[in-house]
């Protein structure tokens, strides 16, 4: 029975099946690392979002808030980056005495859209890799299984009597490749779906903030006020 243990089956597998297993294990390890990394980043981003919203709606002057976030920026705060980009462009365009309020707002909104796209790229980093692992790992494992079963049946040609004991080890080692493929794919798919939903919620919050901030700046541009919300 020892010869039918999982470790012995892996050790006695053909070179192709071993390469398939090694590839799948490598993909699984990288996927788990990216899942841990994404979870850490998403948690920090969510906390940063809540902290900045609390500061923004506390009644602080926008110019003072701008100075604060410039002196101590939080790289995990998407809203802070959008605010900084929008207010910086707004202040730059307002320096022109002959600036048209509508032109000022067009430039400000454009700057915030660019900042929003950059935040989207940061949030979606590595998600495509998880999606690829989740979709391709079962097929890679299936390739190893098909190859192993084919090799097992070909080995029967050299035997006068085909028995279950003769073919079982080859089929068992082949099925291990499929199991490892599923082991790599399932966490990747779960992680991708989870993080995609989190990214959608964060981006929705960013877009809502951009619209609200744009409305505040629109009132400033047409009233000449520079501080009050």
pLDDT at 112: 94
- Render the burial of 46-67: b for 16+ CB within 10 Å, e for the rest: eebbeebeebbeeeeebeebbe
Answer yes or no: are the C-beta atoms of 52 and 79 closer than 8 Å. Answer: yes
**pLDDT band (50, 70, 90) for residue 21:** confident
pLDDT in tens, 72-113: 888 888 999 999 999 999 988 888 756 788 888 889 999 999
Whether residue 76 lies inside any domain: the answer is yes
Please check whether residue 229 lies inside any domain of the structure.
no
Interacting residues of 175 by C-beta distance below 8 A, sequence separation 6+: 145, 148
Asked if residue 12 is part of any domain, the answer here is yes
Model confidence at 128: pLDDT above 80: yes
Collapse the DSSP code of 13 into the 3-class scheme (helix H, G, I; strand E, B; otherwise coil) and give the result.
coil
Please state, in angstroms and rounded to a whole number, the distance separating the CA atoms of residues 212 and 76. 20
What are the tokens at 151? 């090799």
Rounded CA Rg of the chain: 28
Q: C-alpha distances in angstroms, 112 versus 5, 69, 86?
A: 59, 16, 5
SS3 content of the chain, % helix, strand, coil (to 5): 85, 0, 15
- 228 lies in some domain: no
Give whole-number Cα distances, 34 to 31, 40, 53, 130, 192, in Å: 5, 10, 28, 8, 10
Q: What is the pLDDT of residue 1?
A: 41
Q: Indicate whether 158 belongs to any domain.
A: yes
- The tokens describing 86, both together, are 């929008």
* Number of neighbouring beta carbons within 10 Å of residue 150: 14
Provide the residue range defining the domain that includes 47: 2-223
Taking residue 74's Cβ as centre, other Cβ atoms within 10 Å add up to 17
- Do the domain assignments include residue 87? yes
| Between 9 and 1, the higher pLDDT residue | 9
d(CA 34, CA 200) in angstroms, rounded, equals 18
Tell whether 64 is covered by a domain.
yes
- Structure token pair of residue 224: 């000449």
Q: Name the band, by pLDDT with cuts 50, 70 and 90, for residue 153.
A: confident
Check pLDDT > 90 for residue 169: no
Taking 50 as the threshold, does the pLDDT of residue 226 lie above it? no
pLDDT value at 213 more than 80: yes
Rounded CA separation 101/118 (Å): 26
pTM of the prediction?
0.80
Q: Is 150 among the domain residues?
A: yes
Q: What is the pLDDT of residue 221?
A: 77
Number of domains making up the chain? 1
């Amino acid at each position: 029975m020892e010869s039918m243990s999982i470790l012995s089956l892996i050790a006695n597998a053909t070179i192709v099946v071993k390469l398939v297993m090694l590839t799948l294990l490598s993909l699984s390890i990288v996927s788990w690392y990216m899942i841990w990394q994404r979870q850490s980043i998403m948690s920090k981003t969510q906390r940063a979002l809540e902290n900045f919203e609390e500061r923004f709606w506390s009644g602080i002057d926008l110019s003072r808030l701008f100075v604060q976030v410039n002196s101590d920026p939080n790289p995990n705060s998407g809203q802070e980056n959008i605010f900084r980009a929008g207010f910086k462009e707004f202040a730059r365009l307002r320096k022109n005495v002959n600036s048209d309020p509508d032109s000022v707002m067009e430039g400000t909104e454009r700057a915030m859209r660019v900042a929003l796209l950059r935040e989207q790229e940061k949030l979606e980093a590595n998600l495509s890799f998880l999606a690829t692992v989740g979709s391709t790992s079962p097929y890679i494992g299936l390739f190893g299984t098909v190859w192993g079963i084919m090799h097992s049946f070909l080995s029967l040609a050299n035997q006068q009597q085909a028995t279950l004991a003769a073919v079982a080890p080859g089929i068992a080692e082949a099925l291990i490749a499929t199991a490892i493929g599923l082991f790599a794919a399932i966490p990747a798919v779960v992680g991708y779906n989870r993080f995609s939903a989190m990214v959608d919620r964060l981006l929705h919050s960013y877009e809502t903030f951009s619209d609200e901030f744009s409305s505040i700046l629109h009132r400033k541009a047409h009233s000449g006020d520079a501080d009050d919300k």
